[in-house]
Every structure is written in structure tokens, then in C-alpha cells.
Amino acid sequence: PEAMLALLTQWAPPVPIKPFKAKKIYSAEEIRAAIKEGALVNYYQPKVSVASGTVVGVETLVRWHHPKDGLVFPNQFIHVAEEHGLINDLTQFVLLQAFTQAKKWQQEGFELRVSVNVSMDNLTSLDFQDHVVKLAADAGILPQKLVLEITESQLMGDMRVSLEILTRLRLKRFRLSIDDFGTGHSSLAQLRDIPFDELKIDQGFVHRAWKDETLRVIYDASLALAKQLNMESVAEGVEDRDDWELLRRTGCDLAQGNFVSKPLLAEEIPEWIKVWLNRVQTELLVQSTN
Ligand code: C2E
Ligand code: MG
Ligand code: MG
Ligand code: MG
């Protein structure tokens, strides 16, 4: 027993255990000030074609460059903004930056679709549609180049309203994407009624779906549904080569995730594209050996 005790007191965890740090949630006042002062910064995560490696577009992911706390992620402030009537201002800010950036890339010779995440409260705001149309026109970007992503769970809140607004945006030629698919509760009938262009399979059903049967069932069903309803399929949360190979084998259209690239600052995108296209040629288009 003495020896055991000695061993136990010597034991150290293989990796140091980090002290638990609770996620800080910010107040509406702080967020309001951040929007006003321009402290929110858009990051852009590439979406690429699985079959060809082509860079098809980027998804805009907002972060807050906080003077004291550093980089703050959306799960620490988006829901507060939604609850306190700040999401329209926030989205306007993100859209303006994203559309302006899309134009800049275009002028540099990069034809990229730019996706922006929108909340249900944005869609139900009366002037949202006019605002998006105006922002796109002012930036000189065709609506076909812009993708509005809305999560499946928010969509299901009020189907009747979302159906009408989304249909109108679709008629203006904006592309519509259903985000985090698999985590909401849409029915097949509802999906058929909304003119979505793109279906994003939630990352929870992508990473490791090649080895976990339960994940795989949902991944396969989502992919089949996208194909049946003529939507482009996107897998998010592609983290490693095994994930990537599953997409290749199953014919998923687009990939997004850290295996391709983490979200980047706008100015990093051109250099990243160069490096990526080289990686596609040398590494990714060859069949993996396992
Ligand atoms: P989302 O739209 O589903 O975005 C994907 C999230 O997965 C992003 O987190 C992204 O950084 C993360 N991600 C990307 N690749 C990987 C990967 O390989 N593995 C893992 N584990 N995660 C990966 P992020 O940037 O923290 O955003 C979280 C959510 O916040 C987004 O989920 C979106 O719903 C929301 N969001 C982000 N920006 C905005 C915005 O401007 N407006 C609104 N309304 N919501 C936003
Ligand atoms: Mg999204
Ligand atoms: Mg998503
Ligand atoms: Mg997600």
C-alpha cells in the first residue's frame, strides 16, 4: 500500500489540466458599443469543391476584436444580440463588410461566392430585403454571388413567415442555404416548399462519420435529400483526410472545415488560394492509399 500511495502521489496527468474557464457572456451594452465602434471583424472560411478542389466561395464568420479579452467568438455574443434587438445592426455591419470585400476580391480576379449567416429576426424585419438588395447594388455584386445561410432550427420557428420572405429573396436571385442541417426538425414536405440552393450538413454528422455508424446514417440521409431536392450539398466541420475521403466517396459537392482552412482574415485569402491549389494538385486529387 505504501508503494501504491507513493505512485499515486507521483502521478501527473499526461497533459496538464487547464483551469476551467467559464465562457464569458457579454452584455447588450458592450455589444452595442462594439458594433458602433467597428470592433467586429469578419473572418472568411473557404468552401471548396470536393471533386475538383476549386475554391467556390467563403463563409463570413464574425468575431469581436475585444480590447481586453482578445478574440471573442460568435457564441459569446450573437444570441445576446438576438435577444436585445441588436441583431439587425449587427447583420447590417457584417453584410456591408462582406459585400465590399466580395467586390474587392472580384477586382483582384477572385470570383468567390460570399455567404453570410442571418438570423430569423433579420428575415422578419420589414426592410431586410430592401436593405440586402441595396447593399449588393451599392457594392456592385450580383445577388447570385451572395448566399444567405439560415439554420434549420431557426427556420422551423415560424415556417409560414420564413417561407414567404425566403421565396422573395430567392426571386431576387440571392442564393439560400439551410445551415446546421440535421439539428433542426424540418419535415420533407417543408423542405420541398422552400427554394433552397444549398444544404449544409451539420459538423456533428460529418467529422468521424466514416467510422461511426450512427453519424453515417444521418450524413447519408442528408446528402441523399440534398440530391433529391437538387440542392448543392456542403459538409461542414471537415477536420481530417478521412473526413475528406468520405466526401469524395459519397459525392458530397462542397467541403468546409479546418482540414481545408480555418476562418481567415480577408487579406489572407489570396495567398491561401495559391497554397491550396498547389496542395490539391500534389496531394488531394490522388487517391489515398488507405
Ligand atoms: P455556422 O454558421 O455553422 O459556422 C460554422 C462554425 O464551425 C464556425 O464557428 C466555424 O469557425 C466552425 N468550424 C469551421 N471549421 C471547423 C472544423 O473543422 N471543426 C470544428 N469543430 N469547427 C469548425 P464560429 O465562427 O464560432 O461560428 C459559430 C456560429 O455562429 C456559426 O455557425 C453561425 O451560426 C453563428 N454566426 C457566425 N457569424 C455570424 C453572423 O455574422 N451573424 C449571425 N447571425 N450568426 C453568425
Ligand atoms: Mg453558417
Ligand atoms: Mg453550420
Ligand atoms: Mg454550426
Q: Is the pLDDT of residue 105 over 90?
A: yes
Pick 19 or 180 by higher pLDDT. Answer: 180
Whether 94 lines ligand 1, by a CB cut-off of 6 Å, is: yes
Instruction: Tell me how far CA of residue 278 lies from CA of 59, 126, 133, 247, 263, in angstroms.
Output: 22, 46, 36, 20, 19
pLDDT tens for residues 160-190?
A: 777 888 899 999 999 999 999 999 888 777 8
Instruction: Tell me how far CA of residue 156 lies from CA of 70, 268, 273, in angstroms.
Output: 35, 36, 36
CA 93 to chain centre: 17
Nearest C-alpha neighbor of 42 from the set 237, 198, 268: 268
Expressed in angstroms and rounded, the spacing between residue 119 Cα and the centre of ligand 2 is 10
The protein residues having their C-beta less than 5 angstroms from ligand 4 (an ion) are: 180
Dist CA 250 CA 98 (whole Å): 32
Helix (H, G, I), strand (E, B) or coil at 236: coil
Ligand 1 atom nearest to 256, measured from its CA: 15
Give the pLDDT score at 206. 98
Give the global pTM: 0.92
Dist CA 144 CA 105 (whole Å): 15
pLDDT tens for residues 184-241?
A: 888 777 888 888 999 999 999 999 999 999 999 999 999 999 999 999 999 999 999 9
Which residues are 199's β-sheet partners? 178, 233
259 falls in which pLDDT band (50, 70, 90)?
Answer: very high
pLDDT tens for residues 2-15?
A: 666 565 556 555 56
CA 241 to chain centre: 20
258 falls in which pLDDT band (50, 70, 90)?
Answer: very high
Expressed in angstroms and rounded, the spacing between residue 204 Cα and the centre of ligand 3 is 10
Dist CA 39 CA 127 (whole Å): 25
Whether 258 lines ligand 1, by a CB cut-off of 6 Å, is: yes
C-alpha cell at 227: 440530391
Q: Which residues contact 11 (CB under 8 A, 6 or more apart)?
A: none
Q: What is the mean pLDDT of the chain?
A: 91
The residue whose CA has the least distance to atom 3 of ligand 1 is: 180
Pick 139 or 127 by higher pLDDT. Answer: 139
Count of Cβ atoms closer than 10 Å to residue 284 Cβ: 18
